[in-house]
């Protein structure tokens, strides 16, 4: 009996996603008690094309390597890659710089986007200075900027109003009419679909968006929340081989 394929996420892409997640975990070698970012990283990088700009999560060398590979132009088309791919941005100015690069991509009219990863935490008031101003500018200028935010806080209010948190982001998004798409950060298929929609929207000139990926807190790192395990079960239920 033939397996039904979703045209928006065909079986070949599902298998590629699974393989990329396995590689990301092998490269990271994180302890079992650490947050699992494989679904977030892999499902978003699947939509990156040569010439796009990616700012990997700070302090994550394996993520930077994967991002660099995904943005590398094929040998025959390197001249078409017109943006710096997967390079570190200045400390404390990452999102502001990413917005500036998105402005350049828009002016070049090459159908490319800028993608930056960040976290929701109290330290972001210091490590991501100017993030709110950067997003305000990106929305008003309709820049092709996507911000992927990993949230392991459980959503509580962070005392510093200048830090990245769900309440501050939600308030800013409402005032700017900025799309914020919340998704289970352990569900690779859900992250893939949200990124697919956001990337298409950005490339069409419809502006910035936030992909807010919620991860279980440290007290809830059960096997059921393992993103690779969840995707393996998803594939098995659809008779899609993983090897």
What is the reported pLDDT for 36?
Answer: 84
What is the reported pLDDT for 1?
Answer: 43
CATH architecture, domain defined by 34-69+83-237: 3-Layer(aba) Sandwich (3.40)
| Below-70 pLDDT ranges, the chain | 1-4, 30-34, 59, 61, 72-92, 155-156, 218-219, 221
Q: What is the Cα–Cα distance from 107 to 174, expressed in whole angstroms? A: 27
pTM summary value: 0.88
DSSP 30-70: --TTS---HHHHHHHHTT--TT-EEEPPTT-HHHHHHHHHH
Distance of CA 98 to the CA centre of its chain: 13
What is the reported pLDDT for 74?
Answer: 57
- Let me know: does 59 contact 28? Beta carbons within 8 Å: no
- Per-domain residue ranges of the chain: 34-69+83-237
What is the reported pLDDT for 80?
Answer: 42
Number of Cβ atoms within 10 Å of the Cβ of 24: 25
């Amino acid at each position: 009996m033939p397996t039904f394929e979703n045209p928006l996420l065909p079986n070949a892409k599902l298998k590629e996603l699974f393989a990329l997640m396995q590689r990301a975990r092998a490269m990271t070698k994180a302890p079992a008690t650490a947050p699992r970012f494989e679904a977030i990283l892999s499902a978003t990088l699947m939509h990156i094309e040569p010439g796009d700009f990616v700012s990997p999560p700070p302090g994550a060398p394996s993520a930077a390597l994967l991002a660099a590979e995904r943005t590398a132009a094929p040998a025959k088309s390197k001249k078409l890659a017109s943006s710096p791919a997967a390079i570190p941005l200045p400390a404390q100015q990452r999102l502001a710089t990413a917005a500036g690069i998105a402005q350049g991509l828009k002016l070049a009219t090459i159908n490319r986007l800028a993608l930056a990863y960040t976290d929701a935490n109290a330290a972001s008031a210091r490590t991501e200075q100017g993030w709110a101003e950067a997003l305000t500018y990106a929305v008003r200028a309709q820049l092709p900027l996507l911000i992927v935010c990993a949230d392991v806080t459980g959503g509580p209010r962070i005392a510093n109003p200048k830090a990245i948190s769900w309440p501050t982001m939600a308030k800013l998004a409402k005032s700017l009419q900025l799309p914020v798409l919340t998704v289970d950060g352990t569900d690779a298929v859900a992250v893939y679909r949200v990124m697919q929609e956001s990337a298409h929207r950005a490339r069409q000139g419809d502006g910035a968006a936030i992909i807010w990926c919620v991860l279980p807190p440290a007290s809830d790192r059960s096997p059921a929340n393992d993103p690779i395990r969840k995707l393996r079960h998803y594939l098995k239920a659809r008779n899609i081989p993983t090897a």
